[in-house]
Chains A and B, each alone.
Chain A
Amino acid sequence: MSFLSQAKTKRFLSVHGWSGTILGLLLYVCIFTGSIVVFDNEIGTWSKGQINESRTTLGPRIDHHFRTAARDVDRSYYEEVSIFRTSEGDMRYIFHTHDTDPETGQIIEPKVDITLDPETGEVIERWEGLSSEQPRDAGSALANFWVDLHVQLYLPNPYGLILVGVLGMMMMAAAISGIIIHSHVFRDAFVAGRGSDRLVGARDLHVLAGTWGLPFAFILAFTGAFFGFATSVGIPVVAMSAFGGDQQALIETVIGTPEELDLTPAPMASLDYVIMDATRRTGSEVSSIDIRNYDSASAEILVRAGAAEGSLISTPLAFDGVTRSFKGERPFIGQAPSLGSSLIGIMPPLHFGNFAGLASKTVWLGMGLAMAYVTATGMLLWTKRRQDVALWQGFRRWIVVTVWGLPLAMLVSAVVFFLVMPAGDPHWWTPVGFLFGALFAIAVGLRRSDAPEVLRLTNALLCLSLPVLRHLTGGTSWSEAIIAGGEEILVIDLLLLVFGLLLLRKSRQTKDERTTRLVQEPAE
Chain B
Amino acid sequence: MTGASIFALIVLSLAGLGYLAATDPKRRRIFKQSKIERRPFAWPARIATFAPGLYLTIIGHWSGLSIWAGAVTTVGWAMVAIQPDRYYQARVRFFAVFQQATARVVPYMSVLSGALVSVANAAWNGVTTRVGIPFTALRTHGELSSAGGDTIVLLEARIAELEHRLATLEKTTSQSEAPTPDEENSIILGPHASKKLDAAE
Contacts and interface: CB of A to CB of B under 8 A. Distances in A.
Interface of A: 5-7, 9-10, 13, 183, 187-200, 203, 205, 208-209, 212-213, 215-216, 307, 309-312, 349-350, 353, 355-356, 359-360, 363-364, 366-367, 370, 385, 515, 518-519, 523
Given A187-B26, A190-B20, A310-B64, A209 B59 contact: no
Contacts of B71: 363, 366
- Scoring A199, A349, A519 by chain B CB atoms within 10 A of each residue's CB, the highest score goes to A199
Contacts of B27: 190-192
B200 A198 contact: no
Nearest to B68: A363
The 9 closest A-B pairs by CB, nearest first: A6-B196, A212-B77, A7-B200, A363-B70, A310-B61, A366-B74, A190-B24, A190-B27, A190-B21
Interface stretch (B115-123, B132-140, B162-170): B162-170
B187 interface: yes
Interface string B177-201: 0110000100111100100110110
A401 B2 CA distance: 44
A6 B189 CA distance: 8
A37 B200 CA distance: 46
A90 to B, nearest CB: 29
B59 A310 contact: yes
Nearest to A8: B200
B154 to A, nearest CB: 12
B172 A515 contact: yes
Contact of A216 (B20, B73, B83): B73
Contacts of A353: 70
Contacts of B84: 192
A310 B60 contact: yes
B125 interface: no
A519 B30 CA distance: 23
Contact of B190 (A183, A197, A200): A183
B40 interface: no
Contacts of A360: 63, 66-67, 70
A10 B189 contact: yes
Given A191-B80, A212-B76, A349-B63, 15 more contacts: A5-B200, A10-B189, A13-B188, A191-B30, A192-B81, A195-B83, A198-B179, A200-B179, A213-B77, A309-B1, A356-B3, A364-B70, A370-B74, A370-B77, A518-B172
Contacts of A523: 162
Given A6-B196, A199-B179, A310 B30 contact: no
Contacts of A208: 77, 80-81
A133 to B, nearest CB: 40
A358 to B, nearest CB: 10
22 contacts: A6-B193, A6-B197, A7-B196, A183-B190, A187-B26, A191-B24, A192-B83, A208-B81, A212-B80, A215-B69, A307-B63, A310-B59, A310-B61, A349-B66, A350-B66, A355-B66, A356-B66, A363-B74, A366-B75, A367-B70, A518-B168, A523-B162
A289 B2 CA distance: 28
B184 to A, nearest CB: 5
Nearest to B69: A215
A216 B70 contact: yes
A355 B63 contact: yes
Contacts of A183: 190
Contacts of B1: 309-310
Contacts of B199: 6-7
Contacts of B193: 6
A344 to B, nearest CB: 16
B62 interface: yes
- Scoring A183, A188, A192, A216 by chain B CB atoms within 10 A of each residue's CB, the highest score goes to A192
B188 A385 contact: yes
A207 B155 CA distance: 39
B147 interface: no
A213 B73 contact: yes
A310 B189 contact: no
Given A6-B193, A366-B75, A198 B175 contact: yes
A80 B151 CA distance: 78
Interface in B1-46: 1, 3, 6, 20-21, 24, 26-27, 30-31
B82 interface: yes
B146 to A, nearest CB: 27
A515 B175 CA distance: 12
Given A6-B196, A515-B172, A312 B63 contact: yes
Nearest to B184: A199
A195 B71 CA distance: 25
B83 A10 contact: no
Contacts of A190: 20-21, 24, 26-27, 80
A353 B24 CA distance: 32
Nearest to A356: B63
B62 A312 contact: yes
Given A198-B178, A199-B184, A367-B74, A192 B82 contact: yes
